[in-house]
Homo-oligomer: A and B are copies of this chain.
Amino acid sequence: MQMNQQLAIGIDIGGTNTVFGIVDARGDILYRGAISTKQNETVEKYIDALYQAILPAIEKVGGKDRIKGIGVGAPNGNYYKGTIEYAPNLNWKGIIPMAELVAARFGVPAALTNDANAAAVGEMMYGAAKGMKDFIMITLGTGVGSGIVANGQLIYGHDGFAGELGHTIIIPGGRLHWGTGAKGSLETYTSATGVVLTAKEFLAAKPEQPSILRKVPAKKLDSKAIYDAAVKKDKLAMDVYNYTGEILGRALANFVMFSSPEAIILFGGLTKAGELLIVPTRKSMEENLLPIFRDKVKLIFSQLNESDAAILGASALVWEIKV
C-alpha cells in the first residue's frame, strides 16, 4: 500500500452487528472490525461506539487525511437522503439522518445506501458481477433483500427505495409475513426464516414421514439444522429445499422478464445449501420464463464472503462522493 493513496471506510449496519473496514481503491480491505448494533439503544451511543472502534484503524493507516470518505450500507437506507427510514430490525425508530451523523462525528464526507444495494455495488466492482451492466443481486438471509443494476447503474427509483424484491407477492393469499402483514411475499418462503416455516409445515402435514428433523427441538430447528439433515439425504429436508427453490425460481423468472439481467447473483446464509438450493431454483426459473429468455441468464453464487461484499460495496460509495 502506498502511503499517499486515498482510502475509504466501508460500514455495514446489520440488525445484530455492524462490520467495517478500511479499503483501498483496488478493493483490498486493510483493516477490519465489528461492533454490536443491538447493544446501542440510542443512535448517539451507536455513533460514539463506532467512532471509538474505527479511530485506532484510521490512525494506523496514517490518520484522517488519508480517508476520502465513509460509505454506509444499512437496512431501509435511502441513498438520496442519506437516511435510514423505519427499519424494523433496528433499535432506532423513525427517520435517522445516518450519513449526516457519521460525517459530523468523523469529520469526513459520508454517503449511505440500502445494505443489499451496497452488496450489489460490491459485486459489480470486485465480485462475480465485475464488468456486467445488467444483473440482479438477491440476498437470502434472515430476510430477502435485493439490488438491481441496469445499464450499469443501480436502480434507486424516484424515492431511493427501489429493489424490495423480497416483498413482492409471489403466492397471492399465501403465507402471512411476520412483519409486514402481507400474504405470500417472497421473503416468507425463501429467507432463512421462511425455510424454517416450510420445514415446520411439512413436519406437521406429513406426520407419518420419518425425518431427522423430528428429533430437533423446536427452538433449535433453524436453517442450519435443515441443511445438515438434507446433506444426510433426509427426504423431508430435501423437499424443503426443492419447495424453496421452486418458489424462488418462479420469482426470479418474473424478475428476469422485468429487467432481463445477464446474471442473478445469490448471496447470504441460505446459499450455503449450494446445489440443494440452486438446482431446483434454476429448473423452476427456466420453466417459468418466456422462451425468449431461456438458457441465457447466469444463476450464480456470490464470490465474496458476506461481510466483505457489504464492506466493499459500502466503501465503493466513497469513490462517487462529490467533495
A residues sitting closer than 8 Å to B (CB atoms) are 76, 85-86, 132-134, 148, 150-151, 153, 155-165, 167-172, 180, 182, 250, 253-255, 257-262, 288, 290-293, 296
What is the bound-complex CA distance between A132 and B159, given in angstroms?
12
A168 and B257 within 8 A (CB):
yes
Q: Known contacts A250-B172, A292-B85, A292-B86: does B167 contact A261 (CB below 8 Å)?
A: no
Q: List 5 A-B pairs, minimum CB-CB distance, nearest first.
A: A157-B260, A162-B260, A158-B262, A134-B158, A168-B254
What is the bound-complex CA distance between A102 and B58, given in angstroms?
62
What is the bound-complex CA distance between A148 and B85, given in angstroms?
26
Q: Known contacts A157-B150, A292-B85: does B258 contact A165 (CB below 8 Å)?
A: yes
What is the bound-complex CA distance between A296 and B162, given in angstroms?
13
Residues from chain B with Cβ under 8 Å of A288 in the complex: 169, 182
How many identical chains are in the complex?
2
| Shortest Cβ gap from A273 to chain B (Å) | 23
What is the bound-complex CA distance between A277 and B265, given in angstroms?
38
Cross-chain pairs A/B with CB under 8 angstroms, 18 sampled: A85-B292, A133-B158, A134-B157, A134-B158, A150-B151, A150-B153, A151-B151, A157-B259, A157-B261, A162-B260, A163-B259, A164-B292, A164-B293, A167-B257, A169-B254, A169-B288, A180-B290, A258-B258
A161 and B293 within 8 A (CB):
yes
B290 and A182 within 8 A (CB):
yes
Residues from chain B with Cβ under 8 Å of A170 in the complex: 172
B258 and A162 within 8 A (CB):
yes
